[in-house]
Structure 1
Amino acid sequence: MLTQSKLIIIYIGCFLGVVLQLSCKKLVSIPPPKNTLTTVQVFSSLSQAESAMAGIYTRMINGENNSAPPLAGTNVWSAGALRLLAGLSSGELYNSGGPLQANYYAFSSNKLTAINNSSTALIIWKGAYITIYGANSIIEGVAASTSLREDDRKRLTGEAKFLRAFAYFYLTNLFGDVPLALTVDFHKTVNLPRAPQAEVYKLIIDDLKEAQTSMSPEYTTSLGERIRPNKWAATALLARAYLFTEDYDNAVINATALINEQGLYQLETDLNTTFKSNSLEAIWQLKPGGTSSILKNATPEGQISLPSPRYTGYADFYLSGHLMGAFEPGDKRRVDWVDSTIYTGGSGSANFYPTKYQIGQSNSAFGQPGEYYMMLRLAEIFLIRAEAIARGNQGNLSTAIDDLNAIRHRAGLEHLPNTLNKEQVIAAVEQERQVELFAEWGHRWLDLKRTNRASVVLKTIPVKLPWEGDYQLLYPIPVEEIRDDYFLTQNPGYF
């Protein structure tokens, strides 16, 4: 994979800059060396290793060299771009420009081609692989170091493997079979073929199991803030990976272990505090830099999602009627997590937008407490356990119904009866996941695909008709990646 091999060099150059200067001035693509192996920096101190790790998180929320904060919600894979594209694909979001915004309309209408999707899909592909190469460089740098203490060595390696698993989870769910790059040695990664999804999931689960046993259960590394993943973040993602691979028993075991950590995690009773930086529901968050003159103390997603002015202005993306119709009467999530602008754009009706993040263009400010970007949160874990119990034929559905009712109680809805059967519980899980996790990390898109409900549901949305075919459930591999890697093949259906 030539493009990926370039990314190795890009990342190592930035990595060395982080270690030596704590900065990386420019993302420059250079040819790989022809006669020497790409090597990693051997850490001579814990502070060097921690600086390199912090650099990964900085890129995940701000983009390369902090150059993208104003637009990070659309062009940084882990700061909002993924939830945006998957939200358009699932029909929970729509782009206000319609066909005039061709790159986004292709996702809204599920009319992707290898050409019209290439540059947009590359945001996810390239960004996730940069995260993976950053993780690999830390894994190899820690292994080569002779000066780090054993406990620091284990923790840093576990944290890097968690990040690698996190990036691969989304790559394989969006693109299917993907290359497994497990080193920064470009001689071993150039022209990699696609690995079967089963192999990708094996790596994800193996990495998360190691991270789970290597990382601290506390947030001491980040001084109490939940901006560095810990053992419980690995547990949360492991529960999700087991659910997606239909290993329901292990999904229940891991979800239960996390839910039982009530001294550290609780569902927030007030929906408006759920996404705050001090939320007890947060398992892992990213902290924006707070130095952008445009972003200020907002998250990239808040910057993109909220109109300016808040109630009269224009936004590029809105919540769809399909999603708005899914809320039950009296659902507090419809009240607290959704708002509208009177700017109609010629549609003749108000446009709705998500307000899970409440700081945006119109109210961001320097020197004020900011919001952090939610990566993993407790509500999903309740829903994972409920679904895994129902699908796993464990017999007793009462815990699954209790989990659903914990989510519904906070939303101000009536409790579901304990008389629900298996099929009714599964349907209730789908409903709660749709209205609880909307506009978050593409949950709806991934859920529709893994439960084989995508074509049935999406064919009821007019903008997606005529339905081009189920091949659209995987995004096309970016054409420049295929051009530069002769072992890399396109997903079926794309030409």
Structure 2
Amino acid sequence: MKTKIKYIIAAGFAASSLLMNFSCEKFIETDFPSNQISSQLVFEDEQTAEAALAGLYSGFWTNSMFSGGIDGMGALLGTYTDDLTCVYTSSSNGALDLFNNQQIPTNTAVTSFWMYAYQQIYIANSIIEGVNNSKSLSSAAKDRIRGEALFVRSLIYLNLYGIFGEIPYADTTDYTVNSHLSRMPKDALLLRIETDLSEAVNLLPASYRNVERIYPNKFAGYMALAKMKMLLKKWNEAEVLCGTIIQSSQYTYQNDITKVFQKNGSHILWQLKPKNNNDATKEASLYNFTGAPTSFTLSNALVNSFPTADLRRQHYVTAVPFGQQTNYRSSKYKNIGVNNPTEYSIIFRLDEVYLMQAEILLEQNRSAEAVPMINRSRQRAGLPLLSASLTVNDARNQMQEEKRREFFAEHGIRFFDLKRWGMLDQLVTLKPNWKSYQSNWPLPQKELLLNTNLNPQNAGY
């Protein structure tokens, strides 16, 4: 019988106060095949090495930027921009302050977001070091496990950069190094992330190691690397990566709008499995309210952005009357409670690759090639197809509208798009407290006190 044990991840990164001393050690629960195994032996056996990696993914589901719950990018960045309206009533709620664009360096949501991210970076580093030092793992197992850990770490860093700007880059578990890290300058940081993602892509296998696609493969790596190339404006390289995914026989565009968020689709590149079988996704639990909303509603601006005939308005948005008011909830994920045999939390889907490719082509003034990419989601949504003769500017406007309607409340896609397009300041028309410096969140004050090398604080805070 497998015994659930608690695998201690030692204190390793000073920027995360949770990892500062033994009284604050983080325990990650994993299913190991025997009772207690010392950390030195974990990476001498493929099964236990897999369990350590499974612990990292479990953390994604429980508390991370990839979580579909209140601590994830979908909720926090959705309410920070214009996807979601936060209706929490506590004046000390970190998400409410983000919604009101009144965050300060002691914001609890920001602090937790940073803390969990660097905790998971530390775990990824411990896995990479363990695999590198292993004398018994096969070369194939080493490559795949290292590739997955590198992919995960790189994706965390890419999103942290998008939210905070310059950040510390840790690639070791050495406390004496990590406790004094400074923020890495932008160009050097982006080069490190790009290099790490490229290595991850080379190491990851093209096939999935689980038919449910709950672990990333080479094509998920291509997608993350394409996002990196877009940020760097390396349009030719990004085009090749997206084209490779689109042309792969492993993926098929899902034309049935009722099946987009079902777990068995061949349009899914990577998804997270709920902690327990048949648990609801965190997205379903967070957004599916009845009566008075208690956390988030869809913003009126988002709801009003859907054309009347748009099937997404019918299938992804639900009106909830309450008294004299009607609120709207996100209903992309529909199964709630403990009766969910069909839905996992999707992180990467082919639909996004098509619209990424449309943007890439438009940046190269190739609107006639970009329009068919935009039309895939429009056709599924029941909207008229766009003409291939659209100008680049008109096609770009349509692409941007499509991305908003298709990916609202999904892992901060709206925030990262607006920031990459230089359009975040347009939020001021809907959010009067918005200031330009808020394109970056503040670094948590607690972390600046623990490591003064992280100073100076982001401008404006």
Q: Identify whether the pair has TM-score above 0.5, normalized to the shorter chain.
A: yes
1:246-285 to 2 correspondence within 5 Å? 246-261=233-248, 263-285=249-271
> What is the number of equivalent residue pairs in this alignment?
445
Alignment check: 8 A CA contact 1:14 1:23 kept: no
User: How far is the alpha carbon of 1:20 from its aligned partner?
Assistant: 7.5
The residue matched to 1:2 in structure 2 has which SS?
A: coil
Aligned partner letter, 1:48: T
Aligned partner letter, 2:349: R
Alignment-derived partner of residue 227 in structure 2: 240
Gaps in structure 2 of 5+ consecutive residues: 1-12
Change (3 A) 1:17 1:449: closer
User: How far is the alpha carbon of 1:425 from its aligned partner?
Assistant: 1.8
Match of 2:308 among 311, 325, 329: 329
Alignment check: 8 A CA contact 2:151 2:196 kept: yes
Alignment check: 8 A CA contact 1:235 1:254 kept: yes
Structure 1: distance between partners of 2:357 and 2:155? 20
Alignment check: 8 A CA contact 2:169 2:184 kept: yes
Q: Percent identity?
A: 29
Further displaced range: 233-242 or 94-103: 94-103
Structure 2: distance between partners of 1:91 and 1:23? 48
**Superposed CA offset, 1:398-421 (max 9, x none):** 221110011111111111111112
User: How far is the alpha carbon of 1:382 from its aligned partner?
Assistant: 0.5
User: How far is the alpha carbon of 1:450 from its aligned partner?
Assistant: 1.5
Change (3 A) 1:267 1:201: same
**Superposed CA offset, 1:369-406 (max 9, x none):** 1521111111110011110111134xx32221110011
2:456 matches 1:465: no
**Superposed CA offset, 1:198-253 (max 9, x none):** 2222222212211212111111x22x111000001001111111112211111111
The residue matched to 2:297 in structure 1 has which SS?
A: strand
1:26-425 to 2 correspondence within 5 Å? 43-63=43-63, 73-75=69-71, 81-97=72-88, 100=91, 102-115=93-106, 117=107, 119-219=108-208, 221-222=209-210, 224-261=211-248, 263-290=249-276, 297-307=279-289, 309=290, 312=291, 314-343=293-322, 348-360=324-336, 364-365=337-338, 369-393=341-365, 396-425=366-395
Structure 2: distance between partners of 1:429 and 1:494? 32
User: How far is the alpha carbon of 1:21 from its aligned partner?
Assistant: 6.0
**Superposed CA offset, 1:99-129 (max 9, x none):** 74653232112122223x2x11022111111
Alignment check: 8 A CA contact 1:42 1:142 kept: no
After TM superposition, the runs of 4+ consecutive aligned structure 1 residues lying more than 4 A away are 8-13, 15-24, 39-42, 98-102
Change (3 A) 1:136 1:9: farther
**Superposed CA offset, 1:424-444 (max 9, x none):** 222111111111111101111
Alignment check: 8 A CA contact 1:40 1:137 kept: no
Change (3 A) 1:135 1:23: farther
**Superposed CA offset, 1:168-196 (max 9, x none):** 11111110000001011111211210012
Alignment check: 8 A CA contact 2:73 2:412 kept: yes
Alignment check: 8 A CA contact 1:174 1:475 kept: yes
Structure 1: distance between partners of 2:405 and 2:29? 44
Higher strand share: 2
Structure 1: distance between partners of 2:20 and 2:370? 44
Structure 2: distance between partners of 1:470 and 1:142? 43
Alignment check: 8 A CA contact 1:299 1:371 kept: yes
The residue matched to 1:487 in structure 2 has which SS?
A: helix
2:459 matches 1:483: no
User: How far is the alpha carbon of 1:142 from its aligned partner?
Assistant: 0.5
Aligned partner letter, 1:57: Y
Alignment-derived partner of residue 2 in structure 1: 14
Alignment check: 8 A CA contact 2:359 2:370 kept: yes
Match of 2:412 among 442, 452, 470: 442
Change (3 A) 1:5 1:392: farther
The residue matched to 1:194 in structure 2 has which SS?
A: coil
Alignment check: 8 A CA contact 2:73 2:410 kept: no
Structure 2: distance between partners of 1:22 and 1:202? 42
User: How far is the alpha carbon of 1:365 from its aligned partner?
Assistant: 2.3
Change (3 A) 1:190 1:466: closer
User: How far is the alpha carbon of 1:277 from its aligned partner?
Assistant: 1.3
Aligned partner letter, 1:459: V
Aligned partner letter, 1:472: Q
Change (3 A) 1:40 1:331: farther
User: How far is the alpha carbon of 1:16 from its aligned partner?
Assistant: 9.6
Further displaced range: 375-384 or 485-494: 485-494
Further displaced range: 325-334 or 50-59: 325-334
Further displaced range: 445-454 or 40-49: 40-49
The residue matched to 1:327 in structure 2 has which SS?
A: coil
Taking only aligned residues, the RMSD between alpha carbons, in angstroms, comes to 2.5
Gaps in structure 1 of 5+ consecutive residues: 25-38, 65-70, 76-80
Aligned partner letter, 2:352: E
Change (3 A) 1:257 1:355: same
Alignment check: 8 A CA contact 2:128 2:149 kept: yes
Structure 2: distance between partners of 1:124 and 1:185? 22
Alignment check: 8 A CA contact 1:242 1:250 kept: yes
Aligned partner letter, 2:440: L
Alignment check: 8 A CA contact 1:297 1:371 kept: no
